[in-house]
Amino acid sequence: MSQFIKWPNTFCRAIIFFQFIRFIQADWESWWTYEGISGPDFWGRLNPRWSHCSKGQRQSPIDIDTSTLLYDPYLEPIKINGDYVRGQLVNTGRGISLLVDRSTTSSGDKHVTISDGPFSYQYTVSNITLHFGRENDRGSEHTIDGRRFPGELQLYAYNSQLYSNWSEAKREPNGLVAISIFIMVSGHPGQVVTLNQQQPNAALKQITGLLKNITKRGLSYTIESLSIMDLLPSSWKHYVTYEGSLTQPSCHETVQWVILNRPIYLSSYQFHMLRHSLKGDGHQDNFRPTQPRNKRSIRCNIVYENLGNSDRNVVDEQHHSSNTLMSTIQQVR
């Protein structure tokens, strides 16, 4: 009898043990955070495949020190083909991402490609990730002269000329590009409120409007149609570019970054919605600290004369800094 009682006990323990192992294996990929013992300082040690996070010398994000920018007259505007995408809006528990569906059918043009600019290949948009903080004084991953912005939208694309998908491309040379757009709070005190450019971004509004359907980690919601064009600021001609990495594990150093010189805007209420969506997971900041630039050069096509240009009529010279992000550069003549 005693044996009969003991046996299930051991059996249960074994089951629990194996379940635990399975849990670890299944969850290994997501076992990292932005704080504490699984935070950014330890990513490289959590998993041997993430060693780049600690050993890499070309990591992202970085601080963009505008006194070291190199002006490159050959940097053309970026070309974006297509407009609408379909995808899953996911609450990852650490942030909000839109995983773009891979176009499979001929029913409509639901994929968007990026080329030209500093890129030698054509890249297919695959993923949009939002970074933000607990308060308005932080949230972006990249900083400009040490200044952090309330949010940063990262539009990731993979090299679809050389590789068949994101997972393959992220490990390979020239695999990925990321276009980074800072998000500012519209109508925030200290900013000029009358400008059209400071209206909340329409496509971002569409995303924040759906957050109520993904209030918990792991939940997702299908967006049938989102305009990438609407997500971009009024002009994306002027930017900064450098070679870096993914800002999350595995931290692969295969990303050509482009940081646009114009922000997009979101209302305080929508920022609140974003923060609220991570409430169950501790309402944390979700940006990685800036990494050393080391020997990398940061190029740009921003010239002082370009500031405002098309929008000059609506922008008082004094307020350039609220409309474009970088206004001074070291020009190589």
Ligand X SMILES: *[C@@H]1O[C@H](CO)[C@@H](O)[C@H](O)[C@H]1NC(C)=O
Helix (H) or strand (E) holding 168: helix 166-169
User: What are the C-alpha distances in Å from 164 to residues 126, 161, 289?
Assistant: 12, 8, 31
In whole angstroms, the minimum distance from the beta carbon of 145 to ligand X comes to 25
Contacting range for ligand X; rule: CB under 6 A; set: 14-22, 162-170, 237-245, 260-268: 162-170
In whole angstroms, the minimum distance from the beta carbon of 190 to ligand X comes to 31
Report how far residue 220's alpha carbon sits from residue 214's, in angstroms, rounded to the nearest whole number.
Answer: 6
Is residue 158 annotated as part of the catalytic site, yes or no? no
Q: Which one among 156, 239, 242, 271 touches ligand X, defined by CB under 6 A?
A: 156
Q: Which one among 114, 177, 228, 246 touches ligand X, defined by CB under 6 A?
A: 246
**Strand 176-185 with 264-266, pairing:** parallel
- The DSSP output letter for 277 is H
Of residues 132, 79, 72, 150, the one with CA closest to residue 283 = 132
Write phi, then psi, for 58 (nearest 5 degrees): -130, 60
In whole angstroms, the minimum distance from the beta carbon of 295 to ligand X comes to 24
**Strand 220-227 with 84-91, pairing:** antiparallel
- Residue for token digits 């009682």? 5
Catalytic entry in 163, 239, 242, 265: 163
271-330: contacts with ligand X (CB under 6 A): none
In whole angstroms, the minimum distance from the beta carbon of 19 to ligand X comes to 26
Contacting range for ligand X; rule: CB under 6 A; set: 144-152, 165-173, 185-193, 195-203: 165-173
Of residues 264, 241, 243, the one with CA closest to residue 254 = 243
Q: Which one among 99, 192, 203, 219 touches ligand X, defined by CB under 6 A?
A: 99
Q: Which residues bind ligand X (CB under 6 A)?
A: 97, 99, 126-127, 129, 156, 164-168, 212-213, 246, 248
Catalytic residues: 163
